[in-house]
Structure 1
Amino acid sequence: MRDGRRAVNSIHKTRPYRMLKEIHLSHLPQQLAIFVALYKDVENASILRDQLLAGNAEFEYAFLDASMILSTSHVLASAFRAINDFMHNRLKSRNVHSETVFCLSPNNNIAESFRRFGVTETTKNLIALKIAVTPDITFDSVEAHLDSAVKGTSVEFNDENIKAVQDLAKIKKVYKLTNFGHENQKKGKTAPHGISSDTPEKDLEMAVIGSMTLRGAT
């Protein structure tokens, strides 16, 4: 199933006063839960990056620079495709978590996708995502590890908090959507990929996810 746009159909398990979210995507096995957290003002991004580069299994996450993320659906569409490719032995990178970073890309350059969307030494706002590919990966285990590993302020993973830290101009540039906006809609121009919705924000989200999906067709 290639259309990552279907990943927006999801079930969120909420736990009061706990910022880590557990998400189950439609059309995927329920045991493959996604655990995701958003952090602001991260102080140790360089250490997290070093652990990834060293191949430390304890730090096998999709660590995303939140400034390059448009919405929760943007993240979940990427995770959906990565899990789907994992299930069908189609991974192009090391594991399902690095694949989640790669699946954000509008092109097939894996190294470039890590530079653009992954954690860097200068990352200040971070999304940490872990997929339960083994039974020992649970809400409690992920929460405990992230609490000790990430030095930052945990906030709820939602569209409002993502919007507060995103670099919209940079996101549009990466996806070649710099001219996409409300003025285009006023002039009667159709959204890229032949999709449209009731709001310019949702049109942009669908255009971004469409770019990710079309990457596999090129």
Structure 2
Amino acid sequence: MASSLETIDLPHLPSLPVHVAVYQNVQNAAFLKSQLLAGQPEYEYAFIDASMVLSRAHVIAAVFRALNDYAHNRLKSHNVHSEIVFSLNPTNNIAESFRRFGISDSTQDLLVIKVSTSSEITHDTVAAHLSSAVEGTSVSFDDQTLFEFSDINKIKKSYKLGALPSPTKATDQVASKENVETKQRLENALLGAIALRGS
């Protein structure tokens, strides 16, 4: 099955392209997690449970922070991919960040990120490996898809944002202005938490 892998270049780090794919109805999350934990080099990705992500901006903020730390030799975890998962966490607890945001055996909707830390890692090699490694349906990396997957209550609990109102998942395509603003407020709070976490 063709992957809808997207490659993103962050303006200040053009030498480190970032490849992002999203899958739904993943059947082999336990296998992927076991390969990651075993330190298999070909499974060195940021595997993120998509239910813990609100939007593209939420993901990009964590990637930006991790790449910045990677570029300045400030990683707190094993590699740039584990650092992306860690960067989503509002606290400095690395183990907690994997429990909250990382892949679990029961993950169904999965966000996968790979950074081109070497010239061998290209859009094509990542797309080819993921299409054979992940048993799930490839979907696009966009706000609408991510919002459908997101577990708002779990996200708010992890970031201690219980006081903020929750955006609702409108059944029709037309989201109300109020709901858009509610989602924007939540997203801004998440971005702030990532940016301001103790370094």
TM-score (ref. length: structure 2): 0.90
Deviation at 1:201, TM superposition (A): 1.2
In structure 2, what residue type is equivalent to 1:61?
Answer: Y
The C-alpha deviation readout for 1:66-95, integer Å capped at 9, x for no partner, is 000010111111011101000110000000
Q: Please point out which of 4, 11, 22 is paired with 2:7.
A: 22
Quote the residue 1:204 is aligned against: 186
In structure 2, what residue type is equivalent to 1:209?
Answer: L
Deviation at 1:206, TM superposition (A): 1.1
Quote the residue 1:102 is aligned against: 86
Tell me, what secondary structure is at the counterpart of 1:42? coil
Tell me, what secondary structure is at the counterpart of 1:67? helix
Tell me, what secondary structure is at the counterpart of 2:197? helix
Tell me, what secondary structure is at the counterpart of 1:103? helix
Identity of aligned residues (%): 52
Change (3 A) 1:18 1:215: same
The C-alpha deviation readout for 1:115-174, integer Å capped at 9, x for no partner, is 000000010000000001111100000000000000000000101001111100110111
Q: 1:62-81 counterparts in 2 under 5 A?
A: 62-81=46-65
Deviation at 1:182, TM superposition (A): 6.8
Q: Quick check: 1:118 aligned with 2:102?
A: yes
Change (3 A) 1:179 1:36: same
Q: Does 124-133 or 206-215 show the bigger shift?
A: 206-215
Q: 1:42-61 counterparts in 2 under 5 A?
A: 42-61=26-45
Kindly report the root-mean-square deviation, in angstroms, between the aligned alpha carbons of the 2 structures.
1.5
5+ residue gaps, structure 2, are 168-179
Deviation at 1:38, TM superposition (A): 0.4
C-alpha contact 2:46 2:82 (8 A) present in aligned 1: yes
Deviation at 1:216, TM superposition (A): 2.4
CA distance in 2, matches of 1:216, 1:81: 12
CA distance in 2, matches of 1:90, 1:103: 12
Quote the residue 1:214 is aligned against: 196
Runs of 4+ aligned structure 1 residues displaced above 6 Å come to none
Tell me, what secondary structure is at the counterpart of 1:25? coil
5+ residue gaps, structure 1, are 1-16, 184-197
Deviation at 1:27, TM superposition (A): 2.0
CA distance in 1, matches of 2:57, 2:152: 15
